[in-house]
Amino acid sequence: MNKHCTAQRTTRPSGAREGGRPWWRGAVIYQIYPRSFCDTTGTGTGDLPGICKHLDYVADLGVDAVWLSPFFTSPMRDYGYDVADYCDVDPTFGTLADFDALVDKAHRLGLKVIIDQVYSHTSDQHPWFRESRQSRDNDKADWYVWADPKPDGSPPNNWQSVFGPPSWTWDARRGQYYLHNFLAAQPDLNVHNPDVQDAVLAAGKFWLDRGVDGFRLDALNFSMHDPDLRDNPPVADHKGKPPTRPFDFQDHRYNQSHADIPNFLQRIRQLTDQYDAVFTVAEIGGDEPLAEMKAFTDGDQHLNSAYNFDFLYAPDLTKAVVARALSGWSNAPGEGWPSWAFSNHDAPRAPTRWAGNRPLDDTAKLSLMLLMALRGNAFLYQGEELGLPQADVPREALLDPEAIANWPHTLGRDGARTPFPWTGEDGCGFSTGAPWLPIDPRHKAMSVAAQQSDPHSVLNFAKRLIAIRASSPALTAGTTHFAADDGPLLHFWRRADSESVACVFNLSAASVKRPCIDDADVLISVGTDPASDALPPGAAFLARAR
């Protein structure tokens, strides 16, 4: 057991906010990528005790919960998203006792703990797959997606994987192909099979019994396929985005987004409802995610929330991008509750994508302000509160299979996963050993130690923002109302019964006239002089009506 935590078990923190609203509705959730947060052993790879060591820092940000990316037993072909044992901790990260200690400390600090659950696929090293591939008639023969070749020996259909090659790999033992929407080392589970559903739900129960407060469900719309294995049609219109992968050429009508997925989600909800105030959020990829987000969160029998890649992959932050993302959520009773993320372990960091000619710090503050102003839950990725740009990882140091396969056409994921800079020293206070990914020299100057005492730093700006949101009924759970057309300005109001907050952002490239908002107090601003009638590019403010 690491000295930073003790193993005393505690009960979950309260599941409701003042007024009876569930804790997660409007929550700010801090995502931790365990490999890169803090290493306590000198291996160069972060671990669970390292997270424990710095939970006080996370709590001091004012967030409601932490989301831990996978720490389960894995050969790490996809850095933990290839799970070989759903119910144990990979030795890289520590032990189950370390996890229990982490949960206990988080709860004592008033933090909820959310973990990933990967129900779409496993590692090819998982005992289930090892048994399944041995024959066509064993107990787990139908736990994965197997199919005979075409008469000419080619794969069963034209499906392409996210990471580049076809979605099918030949297995000589069974004389069949198996499906993998990602790496060949990540065979797809056959979640149509009730026995598979029972097995992954049992894994979920294992972690709920250990005190976790919620699940982020990875790649959820890939969890069921078309049993008839029909070919995907080609994309009719690429909408100005040239394909960079075979995957991009197809309309993924049949390898994902099956109509039976919501029925499986009802079973997940039946499980989580047996525990107090458990939160569930789905990751929804694809070009048209809104319908699935709504279906997956409809009513009180499915998941609590969902997020997509509207902002995570947006090359620019514009009024049109924001309006399109928000327009699908009408404030209607019974409608699902969205979540939003601007940066995470799967996408290049937002300041790098959105800064243009503006200073990185100002762009970071602007994006943080917008994230905290949106109706829904806010996911804050480690380092986002520091304004970190995408790290520069040389080609020879790349580890992410997607980055390697598509280099140099994407920024890849490694640059968003580099070690967290606690200090400006060698190793950045992350590790005494050689870090698993190189640390960008720019990040050293943006460390926690460098920013904590600077009242104008991105870190202290983020803390003020989170505190403003936490104290505001309108910003945490109010409705959204767009102001009358303000030209290039993004201008909307968040409203609750007792409060109205104006949210004004100049996302254009030119100065615009500041809107007149009578009887309002500015809560926080960036890039703007309150005495000026002009809002420069990248300027924004939140103002509470008196």
Instruction: Give the three-state DSSP class for 507.
Output: coil
Task: Report in angstroms the alpha-carbon separations of 286 from 246, 351, 373.
Answer: 15, 23, 25
Number of Cα atoms under 13 Å in the Cβ half of residue 310: 22
Write the single-letter amino acid at 132: S
CA separation for the pair 47, 2 (Å, rounded):
10
Residue with tokens 């736990």: 143
Ranges assigned E (strand) in 342-461 = 377-381
Number of Cα atoms under 13 Å in the Cβ half of residue 248: 10
Residue with tokens 């993924």: 252
Residue with tokens 């996963």: 417
CA geometry: angle 92, 98, 100, nearest 5 deg: 135
CA separation for the pair 516, 61 (Å, rounded):
32
Beta bridge partners of 189: 144
Given the residues 124, 283, 400, 414, the one annotated as active site? 283
Residue 21, Cα to own-chain centre: how many angstroms? 23
Cα distance between the two ends of the chain = 53
CA separation for the pair 402, 89 (Å, rounded):
25
Q: Which two tokens stand for residue 459?
A: 């870190």
H or E element, residue 272: helix 261-272
Given the residues 104, 124, 218, 385, the one annotated as active site? 218
Q: Is-contact 289 309, C-beta < 8 A?
A: yes
Residue with tokens 């990979």: 90
Residue 425 annotated among the catalytic residues of the structure: no
Q: Is-contact 351 388, C-beta < 8 A?
A: yes
Beta bridge partners of 113: 66
Q: Is-contact 503 373, C-beta < 8 A?
A: yes
Torsion sign across C-alpha atoms 117, 416, 379, 45:
positive
HEC sequence for 8-31 = CCCCCCCCECCCCCECCCCCEEEE
CB burial readout 53-83, b (16+ within 10 A) else e: bbbeebbeebbbbbbbbbbbbbebbbbbbbb
Cβ-Cβ contacts under 8 Å for 320 (sequence gap 6 or more): none
Residue 400 annotated among the catalytic residues of the structure: no
Residue with tokens 């990602």: 182
Q: Which two tokens stand for residue 287?
A: 């070009």
| Catalytic positions, written as ranges | 218, 283
